[in-house]
Copies of this chain bind each other. A is one copy, B any other.
Amino acid sequence: MIADKMEAYVTGSSLIRAMFEESKKMAAKYGADNVFDFSLGNPFFAPPAEVKASIEKYLAYPDQVYVHGYMNNSGYPEVREKIAASLNRRFDTQYAGGNLFMTVGAAGGLNTILKVLVGAGEEVVAFAPYFGEYGNYAANVDARLIVVPPSPPTFEPNLEAFEGMVTAKTKIVIVNTPNNPTGVIYSADVLGRLADILRRKQREFGTDIYLISDEPYRELVYTGKEVPWIPNLYENAIVGYSYSKSLSLPGERIGYVVVPDCVSDSERILQAANVMTRTLGYVNAPSLMQLVAADCVDVPVDVSNYRKNRDLLYGGLTDIGYRCVEPDGAFYLFLESPIPDDVEFSARAKDFQLAIVPGKVFGCDGWIRLAYCTSYDKVERSLPKFKELWESVK
């Protein structure tokens, strides 16, 4: 007998899993080449050449115990220092290596920081549309996820609604920018006002409210729009990062968390994180990939392929008549379902060999997410299918 709580998890995960299974079934029926899978956020492009060069370097390194062995649970000190130095150059900050801990991807980092900060019954706030796993991460620490309703068409954080939803139990607020699923980059103006609200609420309740910035898509930007460095806008901000997208290494599980000195109780947080990575079973981020990440810390991210896909898809869908959010970053496009029920619309899309994800999964009914981290050819050939789908519901 599995634990009672598990039943809800397994059932809750079924919508996305059903999509994977459907995509496989469609591939069997129509041939993989004739299925247009926009469901998965799995980078389609290989890692940059620097990744291979770095691995080769470490394969030739004399001390293989260093390369594959245990280190401090928070990561190799020299890796953390190199990443801190890169952040300092980019964001005009003064972090030391000790302000960072290396993590098993962004998900491992978020789970660790939630475990460190959030007690049972406390509240974690997210802005819809949001990455659906946040609800499960909150449940892992017996916290409640409070979801702020979406604000179409900009899909910036809905601050009016947010202000009324912060309570004395609010421990963490999560933002994700560039955003999954909308591709929107939150503006410095809105984030600044969000910070003002948090400061006001901290004073009102006499609490610390931590703003966690989950930013695996930081470098995937297509417009001139700047991605603000959130710790420069708010004192109690913690940043979670992953190399999954920027270095196309999602399977390798490598990322980090930054806890600046100005964060309330930062020293205790970093100490506790060092213990919790072990206690939660991650122990440390994979060793070789830590070293690779440090070597590649300033490798420019080539977004040209994603940009081509984005331009083609956004242009093509808009021409057909779909109402889309123009993505500034990430590799997602958010479009309004032409019929009110997004789950129903996703189901109908399968008849046209299209695998797409309903907005319901992200707490945003009536919308659809497309992940365009696929081949240009697939995007091109999908457009007639999206047109047929459009005509079938109009």
21 contacts between A and B (CB under 8 A): A1-B265, A2-B116, A2-B272, A4-B119, A9-B275, A10-B271, A13-B278, A42-B70, A46-B65, A47-B68, A52-B64, A56-B59, A68-B249, A104-B281, A104-B282, A104-B283, A107-B281, A107-B282, A252-B288, A280-B281, A286-B286
> Nearest-CB distance from A141 to chain B (Å)?
8
**Which residue from chain B places its CB closest to the CB of A106 in the assembled complex?**
B281
- A10-B280 CB under 8 A given contacts A68-B249, A68-B252, A104-B104: no
Chain B residue contacts of A271, Cβ below 8 A? 10
Is A279 part of the binding interface, using a Cβ–Cβ cutoff of 8 Å?
Answer: yes
> Nearest-CB distance from A13 to chain B (Å)?
5
- How many copies of this chain are found per oligomer? 2
Q: Which 4 A-B pairs have the closest CB atoms?
A: A251-B287, A111-B281, A46-B64, A107-B281
Chain B residue contacts of A264, Cβ below 8 A? 1
Most chain B C-beta atoms within 10 Å of own C-beta, residue among A43, A264, A286, A288 = A286
| Residue in B105, B108, B208, B283 whose CB lies within 8 Å of A1 | B208
Chain B residue contacts of A139, Cβ below 8 A? 279
Q: Residues 235-253 of chain A: 1 if any B CB is under 8 Å from the residue's CB, otherwise 0?
A: 0000000000000111111
Q: How many residues of A contact B (CB 8 A)?
A: 77
Chain B residue contacts of A105, Cβ below 8 A? 281, 283
Assembly CA distance A278 to B110 (angstroms): 12
B65 touches A248 (CB 8 A): yes
Is A370 part of the binding interface, using a Cβ–Cβ cutoff of 8 Å?
Answer: no
Assembly CA distance A44 to B52 (angstroms): 26
Assembly CA distance A230 to B181 (angstroms): 46
Give the contacts of A61-77 with B (CB-CB under 8 A).
Answer: 64-65, 67-71
Chain B residue contacts of A55, Cβ below 8 A? 55, 59
